[in-house]
């Protein structure tokens, strides 16, 4: 995921997973858990999305990618939101 995270709250973050790839060069689907709490967004064919973090703190955002065979991989990313 590409990022630039250390900013003041409220923080709007654009997530970009376009560098994800499949060894078989197949189509991918993406979903995000912005707070690392198990509340995943729906699967999407788009590698890009956004989310707003209203308060300061540290949170882990998680990306999960699925290929046409149903194989998945995930990665976490630490997001720092500073106080005003």
DSSP state, residue 31: E
Which residues does residue 74 pair with via DSSP β-bridges, in sequence order?
Answer: 64
**C-beta separation of 83 from 54 below 8 A:** no
CA distance 65 to 20: 8
Summarised one tens digit per residue, pLDDT across range 7-20 is: 678 889 999 999 99
Summarised one tens digit per residue, pLDDT across range 32-75 is: 999 999 999 999 999 999 999 998 899 999 999 999 999 999 99
Neighbours of 36 (CB within 10 A): 14
Going from the N-terminus, what domains does the chain have, and what CATH number goes with each? 7-82 (2.60.40.10)
- Give yes or no for residue 84 having a pLDDT over 80: no
Q: How confident is the model at residue 81 (pLDDT cuts 50, 70, 90)?
A: confident
Overall pTM surpassing 0.95 (yes/no):
no
Whether residue 44 has a cis bond before it, omega within 30° of 0: no
CA distance 57 to 80: 6
**C-beta separation of 79 from 13 below 8 A:** yes
């Amino acid at each position: 995921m590409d990022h630039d995270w250390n900013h003041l709250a409220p923080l709007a973050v654009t997530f970009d997973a376009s560098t994800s790839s499949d060894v078989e060069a197949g189509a991918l689907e993406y979903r995000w858990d912005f707070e690392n709490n198990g509340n995943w967004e729906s699967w999407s064919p788009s590698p890009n999305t956004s989310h707003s973090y209203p308060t300061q703190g540290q949170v882990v955002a998680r990306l999960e990618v699925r290929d046409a065979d149903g194989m998945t991989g995930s990665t976490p990313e630490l997001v720092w939101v500073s106080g005003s």
